[in-house]
Chain A
Amino acid sequence: MHQIGPVFKREFLGYFRSPVAYVFLVIFLFASVGLAFFAGGFFKAGIATLESYFLYHPWLFLFLVPAAGMRLWSEEKRSGTAELLFTLPVTTLEAVIAKFLAAWAFLAIAILLSFPMAITVGYLGNPDWGVVLTSYLGSMLMAGGYLGVTALMSALTKNQVISFVLSVFVCFLITLLGTSMFSGFLTGFLSLPVPVSDVISNFSFLTHFDAFTKGIIDPKDVVFFASLTGFALFLNVVALER
C-alpha cells in the first residue's frame, strides 16, 4: 500500500493543474449555497441551522460528483496513460484506492468551502454544532458513495460522456429508491407489502443521509455508505483487471 501516496498526490494536484478544479469549486458553491438560499429559504426561515444547505446535497451530488469523477479512469484509458500507470510498480488496488481518495479529498474541499455559512449562522444565532458536524460528516460519506459508483462507471468506458451519463443514471436510481414517490409506487401500483418497500428504500442514499442531518450518527448508516463505497471500489478493481 506504500504506492498510494505518489498516485494520490498526482491525481489530487491534477485537479488544480487544469481549470477543472476552479470551475468545479465555483459552480459547486454557487449551486449548493444558491439552493440553500432560494429553494431552501435559508435566510427567510430565521432559524440558526444549516439544514436548508444540506437538504439538497443528495440531488446536487447526483450531477456534481459524476462531473468530478468521470475522468478518473476514462481519461487514463483514452490518453493511453493507463498503460503507463499499470506498467509502473503499482498494483491495481493501490491505484484504485489512491485515485478514489484523491477525488474524495477534492470533493471534501468543495463541501468544506461552505464554512462561511456555518460561521455566519454561529455569529447570528446559536446553532446546534453537533448537528452541523454530523451533517458535514454525512455529506462527505454520501459523496464517497456517489464517487464510488462514478469511479466504477468510469472504469468501464474510455468515453467521459458515457461515464458521466452512466454515473448519473445509476446514482439517480440509488437515490430514487428512498423517495416517498417511489415507495408509493411500490406499495400502491405494484401492491408490494410495506416491509418490502421499506427494505428497498433502505438501499437509498436519501434514507441514510437523513439521520446525519438530524444530528444522529447511526452505525448502520455509516456501514451503509462504507460498504457501498467499498463494494463499488472492489468492482472497480475487477473491471480494470478483466
Chain B
Amino acid sequence: MIEVRGLVKTYGTKRAVDGVSFTVKRGEILGFLGPNGAGKSTTMKMITGFLRPDAGSAFVDGIDVAADPVGVKSRLGYLPESAPAYPEMTVEEFLGFIAEVRGFRTHPAKRAQVDRAIGLTHLTAVRKQTIETLSKGFKQRVGFAQALLHDPGVLILDEPTDGLDPNQKNEVRSLIKSMAVEKAVILSTHILEEVEAICTRIIVISQGHVVADETPAQFRARQPGARMDEIFRTLTKGDI
C-alpha cells in the first residue's frame, strides 16, 4: 500500500513536483507516465526516501517515510533509473550483499534469497560474472533482481524495461504481472503500449502536476478512436 499526499520538490527556482497525491493498493500496477523532466523520477525518489520532500508526505504500509525512513526502505523494493550496481562485484556477490543488508545474514538464508532472485530474473548464466562485463539488458535484470530479492510488498520501478530487447521486455512485463497479485507496484515508462499491456491504472504527470489518474479504459475513452500517444500529447502539451 502506497499513499502519497501533496508532495512538493523544488530544485532552485524550478518546481519539479508540485502537489502530487495518489494511492496504490495491493494488487494494483500503477503506470507512471509523463514527458522527460515532468517529475516522475523525483516523485519516486521521494517515496523511497532518497530525496526529502519540501512539503507533503508519503506513506508505505502506513509508515511515514519522513518519520521512519529505514522502516519504509526495508518494506519496498526499488529499481532506480539505469539500474546502478557496484561494477567490480560479480552478480552473486552483489546480490549477496543486498541479501545481507536486507537481513538474510545466515549462509543458507542468504543463498536461498539470492538463488530465488537469480532464478526469477534468469541470471543463472552470468551469476559468476562481474557486473561491469554485462550487457545493458543483463545489468537491468540485476537491478530488477536486487529490487525483488526480499520479496517486498511494494515495488517501485523506474523504467524497468529501458534498454531491453523486445523479448526481454515481454519477459519483464509478464514477471511484473505475475507478481503484482499480492503487491503494490509503481512503474514509470515512456512506452504507452506497455502501460496498456500490464497496468491497472494510469497516472499522467506533466510539469509536476497529476493531469490524469484513471484506468486504461477511461484513458482511452478520453478521445475515442485516437491513438494513445495522441491522448498523451494532448494531456502533456504544457511541457512542450
Q: Chain A interface (Cβ within 8 Å of chain B)?
A: 3, 5-7, 9-10, 14, 17-18, 79-81, 83-84, 86-91
Contacts and interface: CB of A to CB of B under 8 A. Distances in A.
Contacts of A10: 86, 89, 97
Contacts, number: 60
A14 B98 contact: no
A87 B88 CA distance: 20
B26 interface: no
A81 B84 contact: yes
A17 B74 CA distance: 28
A91 B84 CA distance: 19
B228 interface: no
A240 B72 CA distance: 19
B43 interface: no
A89 to B, nearest CB: 4
Given A18-B88, A79-B87, A87 B73 contact: yes
Interface residues of B, number: 27
11 contacts: A6-B101, A10-B86, A14-B86, A17-B88, A17-B93, A17-B130, A79-B84, A83-B80, A86-B49, A87-B78, A90-B73
A41 to B, nearest CB: 41
A87 B50 contact: yes
A87 B101 contact: no
A193 B87 CA distance: 55
Nearest to A18: B88
Interface string B26-68: 0000000000000000000100111000000000000000000
Contacts of B191: none
Given A14-B88, A89-B73, A84 B146 contact: yes
Interface string B144-165: 0010000000000000000000
Contacts of A7: 101
B182 interface: no
Given A83-B84, A86-B49, A89-B103, 4 more contacts: A84-B146, A87-B78, A89-B74, A90-B101
Contact of A90 (B70, B82, B87, B88): B70
A83 B97 contact: no
A83 B86 contact: no
A228 B87 CA distance: 33
CB-CB nearest 4 A-B residue pairs: A80-B84, A6-B100, A89-B74, A17-B88
